[in-house]
């Protein structure tokens, strides 16, 4: 079961109020373990509320590297296993 947890609001030196948000869910270590993952923060400044999401750059970079590796493998296979008909000539 997944839950959202909101942190205690605190005020910055510039007068903005920050409220952190995390997601609690089951861990891979067992059903009784709980893992907290940051989701983002609410920023309240001059009466306006904005949402700033937490971005996981590691996941984005891993996906980019995986896509690059897969495209390199496919390109290598295409070059090594090209069809024979360009080499055929009419006699």
pTM above threshold 0.85: no
Residues 68, 78, 80, CA angle at the centre, nearest 5°?
115
Quote the pLDDT of residue 30: 63
Q: What is the pLDDT of residue 87?
A: 67
One-character DSSP codes across the chain: --EEEEPPPEE-TTS-EEEEEEEEEEETTEEEEEEEEEEEEEEEETTEEEEEE---HHHHHHHHHHHHHHHHHHHHHHHHT--SGGG----
Block mean pLDDT (10 aa), the chain, length 91: 85 94 76 80 95 90 96 89 68 63
């Amino acid at each position: 079961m997944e839950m959202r947890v909101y942190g205690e609001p605190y005020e910055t030196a510039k007068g903005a109020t920050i409220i952190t948000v995390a997601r609690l869910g089951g861990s891979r270590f067992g059903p009784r373990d709980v893992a907290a993952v940051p989701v983002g923060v609410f920023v309240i400044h001059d009466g306006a509320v904005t949402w700033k999401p937490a971005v996981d750059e590691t996941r984005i970079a891993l996906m980019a590297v995986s896509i690059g590796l897969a495209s390199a493998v496919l390109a290598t296979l295409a070059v090594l296993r090209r069809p024979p008909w360009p080499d055929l000539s009419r006699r």
